[in-house]
Every structure is written in structure tokens, then in C-alpha cells.
Structure 1
Amino acid sequence: MSITRIAFYHIETVLWIARLGTFGAAAERLKTTQPAISARVKELEHHLGTRLFRREGRSMTLTPAGRQLVRESEPLMARFMGIFQTTGEGTEAHGIVRIGAGEIAAASCLPGFVAGLQRDFPNVSLEIEIALTADLIQQILSGKTDLVFGAGRIAHPALKTRSIGTVDLQLLASPASVAAMKVGAGKDHFPIWSLSSHSPLYQIMKNAISASGMATRSVNLCNNARMMIDIVIAGNGIGIFPHSMVQRQLEDGMLVQVPGATDIAPVEFQVAIRAGETDPLIMDIFERASQLDIRAPHAA
């Protein structure tokens, strides 16, 4: 065994393959190529004199020797990363952190949160992806995102979550549409707009329109809440929207409550990271995010 030829990046590579499941995902995370990842693994296996991975379908599974290496190395790697960030030039955190969020979080607590990160971590670059919660979960599981703000309860054994509060929802339409409802057009003649069926808000919408006695034969889906708000304001239907995104439109009279609409249960929001995350910077940002209140848009 030639451990003197084993480098820090060899261990880092094995740990990321173990977390993400494929050489390709590890390559993307470490900003290198898949052949480079394969070469690192072969070098390490050669120096150790044993196989660390075996292929099962499209994923790479640890061998018994590989599992032992990961188990023993992971806490040491976390310790090293902590030392690097608190010693010498490592006092300033560096790197790229990828944050995923839905539109509701992006329109509420995210701007202040990002401003706080930029103030406290000036040498850290942020990459922010706005998408539906279902897509964000897939991104963090595949290693493409480090931390996500999601709607609804995120229940996955590979993720660690914290609640950051709830957002109120309202069934709304334009004043012209509501006026038409009152003179006999009826709510059933107006199309209903909702986020994608993969969104937690979709089932909430289905329950809300059922409780309000509206027919569901004309339900239109859109993956952009801002676009739906504009469509409903233009008099083209009814939508269920978070209060935080339509407060100004309600105050200006551009949107009003649909007559006869029942109260809608608020939707919970959570922040999530991978359960096996050990990077001190990501852990620090997660703890900061866990202290947020989704109802407080300007907290930094």
C-alpha cells in the first residue's frame, strides 16, 4: 500500500461519489470531467490495493472496503474543512454555493437572505435556481444544488429539513371577473389556474375549489406564478395565490377575493440540505436559513 501517494482530492472524490451515486454527478460537483473522476478512483484503488466501487445499473455502489473508507474518512474530511476555514488564509470562506428556491420563497425571504450571505461571505459566489419544489428536490439529491427552499413538507431519508413557517393562500380573481360572477355568469364559467400537478399547491387548489363548489372541468396549469397572476388580473380566470406575492395587487384593487371562497389552509415551507452534508460552509448557511421566517421578506 502506497499511502504517501494518496492526495486530499482522492478522498474528496470518493466521498462525493458515495453521496451522489455516480461518477458523473461527482464530476459536476467537483467541476471536473467524468474521465478525471474515473482516473482518481483508479489511482486510489491502485495505491490501496483494493476495489472501492462496483457498478449496479447506472449507479456506483461501495464495496465493503469502500464503505469502511467512507465511514472513517468522512468525519476527518469535515474536520479538515473546518480547519481550512479557520486557519491562515482560510479565515474567509471561498467557493460556489448553489441555492434552489420556488417563486414564493424567491418573492419573500430569499432576497434578504441572499443579501446577508453576500455581506458575511464576500468571497463566496452564489448560483440561484428558481424552480418547482419537485424539481428542486431532484437537483439536491443529484448534487446539482446545495440547499433548497421548498413548499410543503419535504420527506426524504437523504435530506435534512427545517421548517421556516407558513404562507397564507387566497382564491382570487379580477374585479371584472367577480362582477360577472355576481350578475349570473357563475364561477363555473371561469377557467382555474394552478401551478403544475407536481407542486404542493396543486392539491391545495383542488381541495379549495371543491370546497367552494366550483366545477373543475377547466383547470389550466402553469409553472410560473407571476405569469398566472398577470393572466388572472387580465380577467382570464381564477387563481389560488400566496398572499405574499399578491399583497400589492390586493391593495391596489387589481385582485379581489372570489365570492363564497372558503378558507384555505396555509402551506408550510422548509429549507433542506443533504442529510450527509459535511461542508462547514453549507452547514453554516443551512443554520442561517433555518432561522428565517417566510413571512418576513426583508430579514437579512
Structure 2
Amino acid sequence: MVPGNINLTQLQTFLWVSSLRSFRKTAEKMNTTQPAISSRIARLEETLGVRLFERDTGFIHLTAKGLELLPYAEKLLRTSAMLVDKISHDEDFVGILRLGFSEAIVHTFLPEFLSGLHQKFPAIEIDLVVDTTPNLRKELIERAIDFALLMGPVTDFQIENHDLIEFDVIWAAAPSLQIETDRQLSLDELAASPLITYARNTRPYAELSRQLRKNTELPTRIYSSSSLAAIHRMALDGVGIANLPRQMIQADIVNGRLQEIQCVWHPPSLKFTASYPTEPYNPVTEKIVQHALDVTRDYRKQMESSASLVAPEK
């Protein structure tokens, strides 16, 4: 056989196996069976007359010839993808994309993001994953998801990050708790009530714990949750004082269901990024990043307009 018999599907399979180090995970990623993946690699190896992978006690790694093929395969697939991108229309793209979202995105601009995505890429199937940032970061690095909107950036040399949006985080409580709102409370005063915040393995929890250790003397009660919806519900029910993105609870502040509580320590804002693996190359991912940037720009304008309408007169 001659190299002319190589096809792009074989090269794409080769790149996914080299990235995921697993035939099973590659089969899941490419929506096919493990025997089909093995067959593609076997045909590619037969065509080239070399062994591309070593399979040793469950571990898969590239041989010297596999490493030699890697940049050529990446270049061929990138050129092919750029050609398709240049000639075809967005609505012609087909396939399955697994997208990950932090829950703050779900409660703010996710509907606009998804409706716009469907209009631009009607033939693409979307598999949504909503999880905490640490879990999403892990899935990105392992290539279990194709793209994520999360608290970033993700510090991995194979992940590209684009700054997306920043959410202001505030303290909020139900009026039934009768917390003073006309002055700044000390952390000791704030911590007289239970404090409701993000899960223990997140940055907001770590920063709150650090401030409490440094600046309070009395024992404190922290209720942590991986669900923003649960934190929101507990705040509305008067369980304690929660730190939540202002954009998520703006309507509750306006209608009086929640009150903003001032404190000498303000929770840091949450910075979100659009993050995705750079290899294997996928032209659709770059288009989704641009779509996310467009949606968040419009969302910021809407929030700024809403805030100006409800701002008190001076």
C-alpha cells in the first residue's frame, strides 16, 4: 500500500489517540466503537509500514515514528479544517460538541449563548456539562469536554484562554435576618450569622476562609455548596448571609427579596474565561469563542443599562 491511501479520518483518530492516550476515550470522543478506532490505527500503521503506538500494560504512548508523524498530521488536519472553514458556511458544520459551563453562566447569559449558537450552527449537537470550575478544568485537560466557560484562566500549556466577563460578588441576605444595611459591618459582625458560599475546593471558599482566620476572633459557621441555586435558595430562605454574583440576584435586590450587605471585606470578583484545548485543532471552537465574546459584550451592556435604571437618585 502507498501513503496516498491515508485518509483524514485516520489522521484525526491518530491525533486523538496521541492526545488522550486511550482507544476507549478516543472512541467516546469520536462517537464510535473501540474496535473501529483500533482498526483505523491498524490500517494507518499498515499503510505507513511502521508502528505508531506502543501498548504496554494498559498504557499507550507514541513510538519514535509516531512522534515523527505528529506534526505532519496536525498540519494536514489544520489545513483541511481551514479549507472547509473558508469554503463552507457555518450552518454546514456537523458533529457533537461537549461544552462545559460554570453554574454562574447558567443563571446569567446561557440562554442567549445557546440560542445564538443554534442559529449559527443548526447541525451541531450540543452536550452540556454544568459543574464546578475545578471539575471543568480537569475535564478540559483530559479532553473530556471541547470547550468551557469557567472561572479561569486554566494554567495548562495546551489550553487557550480568552477573557470573557467579570462578575461582581456581593453579600446578600433576606430581610427576615434583620441585618443592618446602612453601614459597613466588620467580619466579626458579619460572621455572627452563618455564611453561605461556594464549595470547599473553590477559590471563593478559600479566600473567605483565609479572611476569617486572619480577621475574626469568634468561631464562624460556613455553609458551602457546589450549587449556586442552593446558595441562592438558602439566602432567600433566611438561612444565612450569602456571597453571590450581583448579576445573578439583581432582580431579587430590586424587588426586596434580598438585601445587599456592606462589609469591610468585599469578596473578590469572579473572572470567567472561554477556555479550550488547542490540539487537536477544531475550527468550530474558535467560532464559538467569538460567539461567547459577542454574547457577553451584549450581556454587559444590558446589565449596565438595567443598573442605571434602578440606581437611586442623588
Under TM normalisation by the shorter chain, which class is it?
0.7 to 0.9
Alignment of 1:1-300 (within 5 A): 1-55=1-55, 58-87=58-87, 92-179=92-179, 187-207=190-210, 209=212, 213=216, 215=218, 217-258=220-261, 260-293=263-296, 296=299
Give the % identical residues: 22
Specify whether residues 156 and 215 from structure 1 end up closer, same or farther in structure 2 by C-alpha distance, changes over 3 A only. Answer: farther
Specify the SS of the correspondent of 1:61: strand
Deviating more after overlay: 258-267 vs 18-27: 258-267
Deviating more after overlay: 25-34 vs 51-60: 51-60
Distance 1:214 1:289 in 2: 44
Alignment length, in residue pairs?
A: 297
Distance 2:5 2:278 in 1: 31
Work out whether residues 193 and 240 of structure 1, in 8 Å CA contact, stay in contact via their aligned partners in 2. yes
One-letter code of the match for 1:293?
T
Q: CA deviation at 1:201?
A: 2.2
Specify whether residues 188 and 113 from structure 1 end up closer, same or farther in structure 2 by C-alpha distance, changes over 3 A only. Answer: closer
Work out whether residues 85 and 92 of structure 1, in 8 Å CA contact, stay in contact via their aligned partners in 2. no
Work out whether residues 188 and 214 of structure 1, in 8 Å CA contact, stay in contact via their aligned partners in 2. no
Distance 1:252 1:137 in 2: 36
Q: CA deviation at 1:29?
A: 0.8
For structure 2, the residue ranges without an aligned partner over 5 or more in a row are 303-314
Specify the SS of the correspondent of 1:170: strand
Deviations 1:238-297 (A, max 9, x none): 211110111111112122233545333212111101022412112221233245537826
Say what the alpha-carbon RMSD is for the aligned residues.
2.9
Distance 2:238 2:264 in 1: 18
The TM-score, its normalising length taken from structure 2, stands at 0.83
One-letter code of the match for 2:278?
A
Work out whether residues 204 and 267 of structure 2, in 8 Å CA contact, stay in contact via their aligned partners in 1. no
Specify whether residues 91 and 233 from structure 1 end up closer, same or farther in structure 2 by C-alpha distance, changes over 3 A only. Answer: closer
Work out whether residues 159 and 273 of structure 1, in 8 Å CA contact, stay in contact via their aligned partners in 2. yes
Distance 2:287 2:161 in 1: 14
Q: CA deviation at 1:113?
A: 2.0
Q: CA deviation at 1:298?
A: 8.1
For structure 1, the residue ranges without an aligned partner over 5 or more in a row are none
Specify the SS of the correspondent of 1:270: strand
Work out whether residues 209 and 215 of structure 1, in 8 Å CA contact, stay in contact via their aligned partners in 2. no
Work out whether residues 175 and 255 of structure 1, in 8 Å CA contact, stay in contact via their aligned partners in 2. yes
Deviations 1:98-123 (A, max 9, x none): 21111112222332222221112222
The TM-score, its normalising length taken from structure 1, stands at 0.87
Specify whether residues 268 and 188 from structure 1 end up closer, same or farther in structure 2 by C-alpha distance, changes over 3 A only. Answer: closer
2:310 is matched with none
